[in-house]
Structure 1
Amino acid sequence: MMVKLDPAPLINSVYYSDARVRALHGLGIGFWSFANLRVDRTRELLDGCDDLLMVIGASGNRLVSHRGREQAVGAGEAILMATAETATMTYPSASRLISLRLPRKALTPLVPNPEDALMRPLRPSSEALRLLTRYVRDIDDLYRSAGAELQRLIVSHVIDLAALVIGASRDGEAVAEKRGLAAARLAAVKADVGARIGECSLSLAAVARRLKITPRQIQRLFAGEGTTFSEFVLDQRLVRAHGLLIESQRSGRSISTIAFEAGFGDLSYFNRTFRRRYGATPSDIRTAPRRF
């Protein structure tokens, strides 16, 4: 599905290999874990495909041999290879990586000469690489819940981010930033908010600082969806509170405790916004959840 490989232990000892592969509308995504392994792509295993393979280090180290060159790829680093040519990768110790099989015909409108980037370290720890890694890790949940049109859009976002990592042309960069980069930034903002929704200190400035983008950029991302950062945070807190209220039938937690756990610092504001959102009071939900 991804690429034909011949793995073997690097030394005569215990080895480990695990792979999870996805094929999505021409895009291949692989999540790999290796230890004490040598992986060869020999001439006999070449399949005539001229796609490009991006390898992103998640943890540990690996040595890549391709086109007569060797390159170490550490965590947070990436390298590009051609699937039409032989390659060898060695993993002396525990190592996790992500691989992307990128269709050349989808990539070249954004990166006219991707061959120039083969076996060249790709912008380590750049924003595009960080966002690409995060977006790909979440892609299973995104992709399974999406319709066919949205699935194709998700794939185009990955291609956009990969193009920015490789080095897009000026026109390609403009397209990729407006499309894939914006989508990945918004997904990262929403994930950060979701992870910290119970913190009263959650703020636009704090999220922007953690993600290394400006508050204005975040505001523009939500404006593109017809909403605001504050409205999104409020809605997520109300959803969190709603779930906690239903659970409180078993836990016995008070409404004020639930409001605090959902990130609300003002109980009257919580009650008011909750009733507007659900057409019922928090007490109504807790005592008769099936009615609401």
Structure 2
Amino acid sequence: MSVFQSLVFDTTMLDGIADPEARARLWAECFEQIVTGIDMGFAEGDARIIGTHKFLVNETIALGEMFSSSFVGIRTRKHINRDDEDHVYLSFNIGQTAQIGRQLGREIDIQPGQAGLAVMDASTEAIAPSNGHCISLKLPSPIFGEWGLSPVDLACRPLDCSGADYQLLTGYARLLIANGAGLEADSAAEATQHLIKLTGRWLGARDGVQGAEGEEAVYRARLAFVRQTISKQACDTQVSLERVARRLGMPSRTVQHMLAKAGESFSQIVMAARLRRARVYLLDPTHADLSVADIAFRCGFLDVSSFYRAFRAAYDVTPKSLREQAGTLPPE
């Protein structure tokens, strides 16, 4: 279903709970229902834990506007699950105070009017020192592949927010949050694709972003869901076209035809998802205790040699060399 579900939660539900840690824990549980698992705390001694989150969600995106008191949000290995592994999180700072993001050994200072990006299959720390106000957008990673962009390379790095594309994107996002729940399925699919198109244009993927309306917009929304479902299961060594098709409730031939229309195949999506996941493991300092062999097997490869060959062909660097460059070699 492409229709939007509108969800709102705020800290009035915490009235009567005085303990800051208890409030933070319940706030994190609410956030987990919409976006992802996270440990929530507070910064600079501000333990009020107050705020409001408004979300618009369908099978492709989660779009929200969030206002809260000072907070620290931390995602570690225990929070990352298969539903997160193939998504990217964008935060647009529309408030008056700076925010900080940390991931993959990088740190970014997100000033008002700027944005940050994080991949959701790596450990993350987000800090809003006081009264954070932002728009958030959760997108499937395969969309970035269509644009020729690597979310891992964009994570916690400066993004150009100076142009009209960025202003148009944030303006449309807020308009959609306010009105999207009233859209019928076809209109919701078109609105979703338009938001994705604006995001791609802002990030510089102009050659890979094309408009779509009507049946084409619906097809692209379904295609995104198919890619997402395949990618979620890609690290399972038993993954197959038939198994994914059953989960989608579609005949295998239909899935094949949808992918072929986009110039893709099931095996290509599986391999890309496995390699991308392996790259995050190699770059994320919290996985420094894992050997290259451990990572290869976790990502669905049956032997280390084939993993090395595929990884080097995709990224022009060996897994070990990438770790050396990132400083994430396991302890001896």
TM over 0.5: yes
Q: 2:203 aligns with which of 159, 163, 166?
A: 166
Alpha-carbon contact 1:17-1:33 (below 8 Å) kept: yes
- How many residue pairs were aligned? 176
SS of the residue 2:146 aligns to: coil
Task: Give the aligned partner of residue 217 of structure 2.
Answer: none
Instruction: Kindly indicate whether residue 191 of structure 2 is the aligned counterpart of residue 154 of structure 1.
Output: yes
In structure 2, the CA distance between the partners of 1:44 and 1:149, relative to structure 1 (3 Å rule), is same
Instruction: Kindly indicate whether residue 103 of structure 2 is the aligned counterpart of residue 66 of structure 1.
Output: yes
Task: Give the aligned partner of residue 322 of structure 2.
Answer: none
Task: Give the aligned partner of residue 113 of structure 2.
Answer: 76
Task: Give the aligned partner of residue 56 of structure 2.
Answer: 22
Task: Give the aligned partner of residue 65 of structure 2.
Answer: 31
> Which residue identity lines up with residue 108 of structure 1 in the other structure?
G
> What is the distance in 2 between the residues matched to 1:68 and 1:125?
26
SS of the residue 1:138 aligns to: helix
Instruction: Kindly indicate whether residue 140 of structure 2 is the aligned counterpart of residue 107 of structure 1.
Output: no
Task: Give the aligned partner of residue 126 of structure 2.
Answer: 89
Alpha-carbon contact 1:114-1:166 (below 8 Å) kept: no
In structure 2, the CA distance between the partners of 1:142 and 1:111, relative to structure 1 (3 Å rule), is farther
* 1:122-167 superposed Cα distances (whole Å, 9 cap, x missing partner): 1123211111111110113442332111101101111111112222
Structure 1 moving runs of 4+ over 4 Å: none
Instruction: Kindly indicate whether residue 86 of structure 2 is the aligned counterpart of residue 50 of structure 1.
Output: yes
Instruction: Kindly indicate whether residue 158 of structure 2 is the aligned counterpart of residue 121 of structure 1.
Output: yes
> What is the distance in 2 between the residues matched to 1:143 and 1:13?
34
In structure 2, the CA distance between the partners of 1:146 and 1:40, relative to structure 1 (3 Å rule), is same
In structure 2, the CA distance between the partners of 1:149 and 1:34, relative to structure 1 (3 Å rule), is same
Alpha-carbon contact 2:107-2:157 (below 8 Å) kept: no
> What is the distance in 1 between the residues matched to 2:187 and 2:127?
37
SS of the residue 2:159 aligns to: coil
Alpha-carbon contact 2:103-2:156 (below 8 Å) kept: yes
Instruction: Kindly indicate whether residue 43 of structure 2 is the aligned counterpart of residue 10 of structure 1.
Output: yes
Listed as ranges, the gaps of 5+ residues in structure 1 are 180-292
* 1:162-183 superposed Cα distances (whole Å, 9 cap, x missing partner): 1122221x5214x25x88xxxx
What's the CA shift for 1:43? 1.3
Identical counterparts, % of pairs: 22
> Which residue identity lines up with residue 112 of structure 2 in the other structure?
A
Instruction: Kindly indicate whether residue 170 of structure 2 is the aligned counterpart of residue 133 of structure 1.
Output: yes
Pair member with larger Rg:
1
Please provide the CA RMSD for this pair: 2.0
> What is the distance in 1 between the residues matched to 2:148 and 2:110?
22
> Which residue identity lines up with residue 35 of structure 1 in the other structure?
S
TM-score by length of 2: 0.49
Listed as ranges, the gaps of 5+ residues in structure 2 are 1-33, 214-332
> Could you tell which deviates more after superposition, 80-89 or 144-153?
144-153
In structure 2, the CA distance between the partners of 1:141 and 1:37, relative to structure 1 (3 Å rule), is closer
In structure 2, the CA distance between the partners of 1:145 and 1:42, relative to structure 1 (3 Å rule), is same
The aligned runs of 1:176-191 (5 Å cut-off) are none
What's the CA shift for 1:89? 0.9
In structure 2, the CA distance between the partners of 1:141 and 1:124, relative to structure 1 (3 Å rule), is closer
The aligned runs of 1:243-254 (5 Å cut-off) are none
> Could you tell which deviates more after superposition, 138-147 or 47-56?
138-147
Alpha-carbon contact 1:30-1:99 (below 8 Å) kept: yes
